[in-house]
Structure 1
Amino acid sequence: MLLKPSSVSLKLKLPVLMVALTVAFVVTVSFLIYTMAERSIRENVTSAKASKAQAGAQALGFSIGAAQRDVANLAALPTTFRAINNFERVIGMVEADDKIGYLKKHFITDNPNAEDQRADLVDPGDGSYYSQSHVTYHPTFVQTATLNRYSDIYLITPAGLVAYTVQKNGDFAEDIKGDLLADSALARVAQAALEAEPGSVVVEDFSAYSPADSVGAFLASPILNKRGQPVGAIAVRIGTDFVQSALSANLEADGHENIYLIGPDGTAKSPGMIPGAFEMLSKLPDTPHIAAARQGEAGQFSQTQTASGEPAAAVVIPLALNGFNWSVVMETDDAEAFAMIYRIRWMVLSLIGASVVVSIGVSWAAANRVTRPIHHLRDATNALAQEDYNIAISGLDRGDEFGDLARSLDTFRDKLKLADEAAAREEEAKRETDYVVEEMSHALSQLQDGNLICEIDGPFSPDYETLRENYNHSLQNLRNSLREVVEAARHVDRFSQEQRASANEMAERTESQGSTLEKTATAMQDLTQRLRDTAEKATEVDSTMRGTRREAEQSNEVVRSAVAAMDQIQQASSEISKIINMIDDIAFQTNLLALNAGVEAARAGEAGAGFAVVASEVRNLARRASEAAGEIKTLTSTSEEHVANGVSMVDKAGNALTSIIEQVTSVSDLISEIAGGVQHQSQGLEDINAAIRELDSVTQQNTAMAEEASASSQLLQSEARTLSRVTGRFQIDTPMSADAPSSWDSDAIDAATTARSA
């Protein structure tokens, strides 16, 4: 059973209270300091991690942007144009039945270098035209891939053949529509690049690429000739080290920080800095920060878990990159990131423990100095409670609060002695007071029973005689007032009966009038609603006719434009006829020149035999040109006739539309007038309807007031009878005989009232 605080001694309670206050103060201050320090440290750590993640995101964005610009620049270089042309041409010049097999044999199968070093082979020494072109362009592309950290560079012909690669993996000399590359990211990005606009860059996100046995992303751009026509595509493959080196440039590989990319499908688009944390392209757990990264939402998460289930803090930054929908996720181990907070926590707990030990010792010593004089004062107080006025009170010479309390207790002891003497004197006065109280109680008891003739005849002591006289006078005044109340109750009862009858008759007439008016208001409201609907329909018809008028006017403008266009076509046909006539003249002159050339060739003999053949062909060409000019002239004449007929028909359509517009305008004006009139009628009926509703409301209020007046009259009559019954309980006059009633009851009052009314 727990002890109540009031039952514990002050000697124990005071040190416990002091220790509790000290501990509460120390704990509060320590908690506030720890909270502020923890908040500051967490904000600093979170800000630092966010800055690192932001720096990584910016570095990656710069690297991807630079790669896209570099691919576009490579596609626009004349060197790249010449390379794709030469490689496409020399592949066809390979002197072997299986040209693709020949290239794979010399650059892959017989390559003396290791698989990851095949790019070191510049000239396989077979003497083919392809190898000569390879010697020319391969060092340039190798240098480009090395400087930009590209995994590979591809040149794809318009037919889809991978004519060149830097690394010479299994995709070299393959068709992007073949079995090996048909469903690969390289085939998709190459096909998109061949169909893309000049200067644009298409991308493919990280995915498994089996020909290179790796994971990679692709960027590609169309290669154009001088006339801007696509002659192939250039593509680059970037590996995971490309993005990871940009992300982790500002981080330390200490196993406490991990930064990687996440796609909208929740898969990892780059490997983490912590080996074995998760697999590339694997589905990551649906933790809060992973869910935010999947949805492209930025945020900071203080209590989350890594893919391996370790507690961590995370920062999510969505990236706005052309073609890549990624979010940067940076995770930091909680124990390492907030180690300073844990050290401060142990320091605070140690400080609280030391403070508790010190406060217990100090509080116990201070409590003893305070409770000792309190015990002496307690003994003196107990003695005074037992009427022992000879007890010695210690501490009268102290100058502190205990001395004041001791001197007050000594004065209190003297006053207790005087109080005992005064108590004896008041005992006598109490007996006189008891007599007065007894007489007054008896008289008031009779007054409670309704007896208003219960005066007190026996005299009181001089101190209480005035009380008796005042009581008798008050009783006389009460009897007189109650007589007046009884008479007034009789009059109220009679008047309320008359008011009740009048109020009932008025309520019936008002209710009948309200019912008739309510039916009238309902009929007017229905009529108003129907007229309002008619006005709305008329307004809709007016709006429709206005739209029809606008459309007809617009059609008229279209017809006029068509007529103008027909005129321009007719003028162009005339110009074409002039040009055809000129072509006909040129053909005629050419024929004459060809005849002259034939004559001269005949004169030259065998030396002009070849020239004679040319002159004959020129004559044939001039003849065909003249015939074609004649046919075109015939077609042009026919076209001019059709155009003239079209102009005539369009002109007739324009006249018909003009007539339709005039008639639609007339109909629209009439409908507008009808709509305006209906709206005015609707507004008038609404005013009448509002007035009837207001009159109906007033009538209903009058009906309610009449019913309330009738009910009030009934209640007034009931209250008058109740008042008569209440006053009947009092005995106002002295009974004349033994048979007379000693009090007024309600039946007697009702009988007297009925008799007077009759």
Structure 2
Amino acid sequence: MVRWFQYHAPIRAKFTVLAIIYMALSAMSLGSTAAVAYGLLPGMTGIIIAAAALAMVAIVAVASRQLICGPYVSTVVRMEGLAAGDLTSAINYTSSRDCVGRMTKAMEVFRANGQALAAASATQREVVEALGQGLGRLADSDLTHRIDRPFTADYEALRVDFNRAMTAVSDAIVAVTAASNGINSGASDIRQASDDLSQRTEQQAASLEETAAAMDEITGTVRETAAGARRANTAVSEARTEAESSGEVVRRAVEAMGGIERSSSEIILARAVNGRETAAGARRANTAVSEARTEAESSGEVVRRAVEAMGGIERSSSEISEIISVIDGIAFQTNLLALNAGVEAARAGDAGRGFAVVASEVRALAQRSADAAKDVKTKILASTEQVDAGVSLVSETGKALQRIIARIGEVSTLVSTIASSAEHQATGLQQVNTAVSEMDGVTQQNAAMVEEATAAARSLAQDQDPRLDRAGRRRRVAGQRDRQGAATHHRPHRGGQHARLDDRLVRRASGDRAAAGEHRRLRDGRGDAAECRDGRGSDRRRAQPRG
């Protein structure tokens, strides 16, 4: 009976039993008192029965307090500990079938839920720590880190996705690094080509400057040569005028002077003639005039000396005629060289614009030289006719020969000066030719360098385009996955790992709300528990029975 009362009877049944016992004891006490009053029992017996009834009431009160309040107080204290987070202490009275047993069974469920929640929190904490560590390694530029320890089934997909994301990021960084290295290499090649092109351009500018200086020097030399030739022409003209006054004896001398005049006129063309052939022709002319002077001075008699001098002058004239042909050829070659120089200057672009102007001037000068040579030939024919008209002036042969000898000396000096100037012109033209050759080589090297730079840029673009395309595809695939993940997150029906994870979160939230409600109920019932411990709350619990 006591075991049933303690472990099986509901709280209402317990209070009903206590009420019956109290009523029975009260009836027994009242009955004994009435029996004594009516004389049915002796007075002492009635007192003993009444005292026994009171003793039984006290015993039942103490026993009921121990059997009812003790389990309730112990259960309330354990419930408070459970609410405070104590999930390891034992929960008593779980085998009871009364209200206390029902509460302890509910507490077992609460503890199991709390333990599951703690385990889930621990698992989630481990997952967060692992992901945080991986993200920290990623922030430290360590792309080799992977989460090797498996997670629980709810979080395993997250670990796999993290490792896949790290692999994709590592591949993208490797591709970008390789592309950067390729770009750096291509940029270095292009920079080296640009430096070489700049150096060659500077060398070309220096060559153009040297060429301009050489052309200035040649121009000055040509001016001096032209002035000397004009003086020689004047001297020969004066000698011819004086020789024309001579007679038939000096006719050949006058013709020789005409040849000297032609030679002097042709020497004027040498201001535009450049090269070794011009210098050689001038030296031959100087030699011929020197020989004519020597022959004229060595003659004993005036006529003999005149005849010998005319023979020497005739030979010199024939040589000068050859020089005219050479000068015509040189003028043609100079014109052709100037044309080629203009073409190369046009290919050089802005850098050869000044040299193109110089080449144009040289070509014009060569054309004027050719025209002057034609004029000289015409004048030689006219001079020959004029010399024939002066044959009658032989009477003045002696004086004319003396003056001719003096003029020949002057012509020899002038021709020597012209020969020296022609040699300087040949040297200057050699320098110009060398500079033009260097400019041609530099231009070809620049063209080759530009082709190399273009090829390097094209190769750089071809090498990096596939890598950039792969990186772009990875970004597009990642964006599609993000959009699919967002769409899946907003779908009403989810399956797989995401559905299980969401259900887990829902159950966890429900457990949290239930625990919070139970905690509020326990907090509201702490006053009742204190009263139970103090033995002062039995009346209110009878008025508001639980269970």
Structure with greater contact order relative to length (CA < 8 Å, sep ≥ 6): 2
When you count helix as a share of all residues, which structure comes out higher? 2
When you count strand as a share of all residues, which structure comes out higher? 1
**Same fold (TM > 0.5):** no
Question: What is the TM-score normalised by the length of structure 2?
Answer: 0.29
